[in-house]
Amino acid sequence: MKILGNPIFAHDAEGRLLSRIGTMFFRTPGLVTKKGVHAMQRLMWIEEINAGREAAGQPPLTMAEEEAEVAESVDLIFTESLVLIRPNPDRMDLALRADEELQQLVSKRVIRFLNTSSAKVRAALRERGENWRMARQPISQDDMANLIKASKVPVGEHPIYYYNQLSGTRFITAGTYNEIEGLPADAFRRQIVEIVAGLKARNRTGHPEVDLFPSSTPIGVKTALKGLKPDEMDDAELKEFCRNVSLEWRMALPAELREETCENFEWRNTMCHALTRGPNETAAEEQELIAGIAPEFYRQIEWLPGARIDGGEVIFDAIYDEAARTQDPELLAMCDNRVKSFLFNTTRLFGRLDYINIGRIVRSLARHPKSGNRRGNVYIMQYREAGAAEAKVMMIRLQKWGVAERLDEGKSLLQAIIETDEYSDYILDRRLMCRQLGMNLPRRLGYGHFTEKYRGNNQYNGVAVRTAYFIRTYVPGIASDKIPPAKFRNPAFALRFAELMGTAAALDMVVGRRSSSTRELMFDQNYEVVRLGADGLPAELMVTDHAGSFTEYERDLADMVADYASPVLRRRSFVADFNAFAEAYVAGFRRRLAETQAAYRARRKAFDGLFVDRPYDTNGSGAYRWACALRRLDACDPDRLAARLHEAIFAV
C-alpha cells in the first residue's frame, strides 16, 4: 500500500506527531497522512493518481471514477498512542478492511473504532468476536467510589461539582445544587452567578465548563438556569426561583438516580461514566454490548480476544499470533488460553454459531467480597446460534478446588485427580439437594473441562492437568443487594421484595448456606437475583449459585435464624413502613419453612433415599450432610423459628 506522507506515529524534532489524521483508500490502495483535513487528503490522492496516469500516458480520472475513489475510503485519526477508525455505519465493510490493512502497519491493540454508539458498528465488531475492542477498561467498586469522591471540586465558591479531567466539564447534580440552598444570601448569590456563567461557557476544547447531571435532565431545567439574571432579582426572588428549578429537576430524575451515593449502583455507574467519558470516545457500555445486563456488571467485565466464525470455521484472533511472536507481557496477559478452550468446547458441542465473545469477571461482584476470592475464575460468554434471532449469555465458573489447587497442597497427581473428581460430584449433588428442597436455581447447569499446564511449587510443575468448570445461563435481573434504595419507597415493591426474600431465606437456612472459610452468611450477598415484572414489581427470585450450601449442616436452626434478620435491618432507612416490611419478610419465611417441612414429611422416603448410593461418612460426606439437614428440618418448629426471627428484627 502506497503511503502519501509520513508514517503513522512519526514525530518531529520536538516530539510532536507530524500528522493527526489520515485517509485510507481501497479502489486504488493507498494511505494519505499529509497535513490537512480529510477532504483535502482526498483531493491530494486524486491528484496523485492523476499524476501517475499522466506519466503513463493515460487520461485523468473521470468524475465518476473520482467519486468511486472517494466512496471507497475511510477516515482515520491519530493520537499519541492510538489509530482511530471513523466508520460509516452503513459501510462497515470498508472500516473492517481498513482495520485489516492497518494491522500490517501497527499493532492491532492500538487500533480502535469511533462511533461505537452506533448499533451497526457494535454489531459488526461483536459478530467478529471483538467485544474486547469496544469495552471500557474494568475498574473496581472501591476505585469507582474513590474516583467520584476525588472528582468533587469547587470553581471559586463551594465544592459542588464533579470534574471530568478528560473533557474539562464540571457536572452539578440535583443533590449538590440543593446543598447550596442553606448558604447565606451573599454566598448563595455568588454560587448561582458562578453556575450560570459556567453553563454558558465553553472550555478551550469546546466542551461545556459546567453541565447538568445526568444527561437526561430536561432541557428546560438547563435553559431556565442559563437564562437566569441574578442581578435583576432580590434575595427572596432568587431563592424562590432556584427552589422551583430544584423541584422540577428532582421530579424529572429517574427513581434510580435520586439517591446520590455510591451505595446506589445505578447512580454510581452513571456518574462514573460521566466522569470518564472523553473526546474521540471508542468504548461502549456493558448494556450496549449485552442487552439487559445487570448494573453490578458495569466496568467489571474484561472482554478478551477470541475468534470470529466465518462460514462455520473458527478463526482465532490475529493478536494471538502477535503475542506469540513478540512475547509482549501485556499481550500475553490479554490472550487467555482458557478462552481458547471455552471456544473449542462451545463450538464442538453446539451447532453452527454466528459469533461468540468471552470476557473475564475481574473481581467478585459481591457488595462486600470475602477475602480469598480468586481473580479470574468467573467468565461470561455471549454467543448467537446460526438462524437465532437473539444472542444467549452464559456464566462460566471454574471449580474452586481443582487438580492445581490440590497439587499446591503437596498431594500426588493421582490423589489430586481423584479428590477433584469427587469434589465435582459433590458440587452437583449439592445442587440436586437444593433443588429437591425447592430452591429456585437456574434450570440447567453444564459441566466441562479443559487441559492447561500446572504452574506451582509441586514436583509436577509443567505437567498438563485438567481444569473443571460449570456453565449456566445468565439470569437477568438485579442482585438483591444491588437494588437501588429508591425502589423501596414504593410500598408495593417493598412488600413484594420482603415476601420473596423471606421465602428464599427459609431455604437458605435449611441448606446451611455459609462461607466455607469464614462461616459468614452468604444470603443477600450477590447470589439472589430479583426479576421484575411488567408492572415494575418483583416477580421472581432466583438463587444463581448454590455455593456454600450444606456448609453448616449440624448446628441447630434455632441458633442460626437470628442471622437472617440482617436483610431486613439494613433496609430499615429505605422503606416507608418498616413494620409492614418486616412482617412480610417473616411471614414469607414461616410459610416457606412450613411448606418445605410438609413436603419432606409427605414424601419422606423419596428424600431419605436420594443419596443411598453415595458414601455415608460422619466426617462430612455429602450423604451425611443431607441426612443431617433433613433431620433438623423434620425436628424444627416453623412458628417458633419465625417468632425468633421476628424478635431478632425488632430487638434492634
**pLDDT band at residue 98 under the 50/70/90 scheme:** very high
Residue 204 has pLDDT above 90, yes or no: no
Percentage, residues of the chain above pLDDT 70? 98
Residue 243 has pLDDT above 60, yes or no: yes
Count of alpha carbons within 13 Å of 192, Cβ hemisphere only?
Answer: 31
Nearest CA to 301 out of 182, 381, 217, 207 is that of 381
Nearest CA to 632 out of 437, 500, 441, 499 is that of 437
**pLDDT tens digits, residue range 502-534?**
999 999 999 999 998 888 999 999 899 999 999
Q: Which residues are paired to 451 by β-bridges? A: 466
Entry pTM: 0.87
C-alpha cell at 259: 439517591
What pLDDT is stored for residue 436 in this prediction?
97
Nearest CA to 36 out of 67, 5, 59 is that of 5
Residues 132-161 have a mean pLDDT of: 91
Asked whether the beta carbons of 448 and 343 are under 8 A apart, the reply is no
**pLDDT tens digits, residue range 445-454?**
999 999 999 9
Compute the distance between CA of residue 202 and CA of residue 208 in angstroms, rounded to an integer: 4
Residues 381-401 have a mean pLDDT of: 93
Asked whether the beta carbons of 302 and 138 are under 8 A apart, the reply is yes
What is the rounded average pLDDT for all residues in the chain? 93
Q: Which residues are paired to 170 by β-bridges? A: 163, 210
- Other Cβ atoms less than 10 A from the Cβ of 237: the count is 11
Compute the distance between CA of residue 103 and CA of residue 84 in angstroms, rounded to an integer: 12
Asked whether the beta carbons of 532 and 477 are under 8 A apart, the reply is yes
**pLDDT tens digits, residue range 224-238?**
999 999 999 999 999
Residue 151 has pLDDT above 90, yes or no: yes
Beta strands in 288-425 (DSSP E): 301-304, 307-310, 313-316, 353-361, 378-385, 392-398
Asked whether the beta carbons of 514 and 553 are under 8 A apart, the reply is no
Higher pLDDT, 295 or 76: 76
**Each residue of 152-190: b (16+ CB within 10 Å) or e?**
eeebebbebbbbbeebbbbbbbbbbbbebeeeeeeebbb
Residue 507, C-beta contacts closer than 8 angstroms, at least 6 positions apart: 434, 437, 438, 439, 592, 596
Higher pLDDT, 160 or 652: 160
What pLDDT is stored for residue 303 in this prediction?
94
Tell me which fold the domain 478-650 belongs to: 1.10.1070
C-alpha cell at 321: 499470533
What pLDDT is stored for residue 376 in this prediction?
65
**Each residue of 492-524: b (16+ CB within 10 Å) or e?**
ebbbbbbbbbbbbbbbbbbbbbbbeeeeebbbb
Compute the distance between CA of residue 337 and CA of residue 525 in angstroms, rounded to an integer: 31
Residue 137 has pLDDT above 50, yes or no: yes
**Rounded to 5 degrees, what are φ and ψ at 450?**
-145, 170
What pLDDT is stored for residue 372 in this prediction?
41
Higher pLDDT, 319 or 371: 319
Asked whether the beta carbons of 63 and 71 are under 8 A apart, the reply is no
**Rounded to 5 degrees, what are φ and ψ at 360?**
-115, 135
Nearest CA to 188 out of 228, 148, 158 is that of 158
What pLDDT is stored for residue 25 in this prediction?
97
| Identity at 568, one-letter amino acid code | V
Residue 279 has pLDDT above 90, yes or no: no
Residues 93-99 have a mean pLDDT of: 96
**pLDDT tens digits, residue range 413-445?**
999 999 999 999 999 999 999 999 999 999 999
**pLDDT band at residue 62 under the 50/70/90 scheme:** very high
Residues 118-130 have a mean pLDDT of: 94
Place of cell 458495569: 298
What pLDDT is stored for residue 621 in this prediction?
95
Element containing residue 77 per DSSP (H, E): strand 73-78
**Rounded to 5 degrees, what are φ and ψ at 91?**
-130, 55
Residue 535, C-beta contacts closer than 8 angstroms, at least 6 positions apart: none
Percentage, residues of the chain above pLDDT 90? 81
Compute the distance between CA of residue 346 and CA of residue 342 in angstroms, rounded to an integer: 6
Residue 159 has pLDDT above 70, yes or no: yes
What pLDDT is stored for residue 513 in this prediction?
96
Residue 249 has pLDDT above 80, yes or no: yes
Measure Cα distances from 58 to 55, 494, 625 in Å.
Answer: 7, 79, 88
Residues 284-298 have a mean pLDDT of: 86
Kindly give the pairing relationship between strand 392-398 and strand 307-310: unpaired
**pLDDT tens digits, residue range 329-379?**
999 989 999 999 999 999 888 878 999 999 999 877 765 555 444 446 899
Residues 108-112 have a mean pLDDT of: 94
Residue 582, C-beta contacts closer than 8 angstroms, at least 6 positions apart: 498, 568, 646, 649, 650
Beta-sheet strand order (sheet of 2-4): 2-4, 30-32, 21-25, 73-78, 83-86, 111-113
What pLDDT is stored for residue 138 in this prediction?
87
Residue 118, C-beta contacts closer than 8 angstroms, at least 6 positions apart: 87, 89
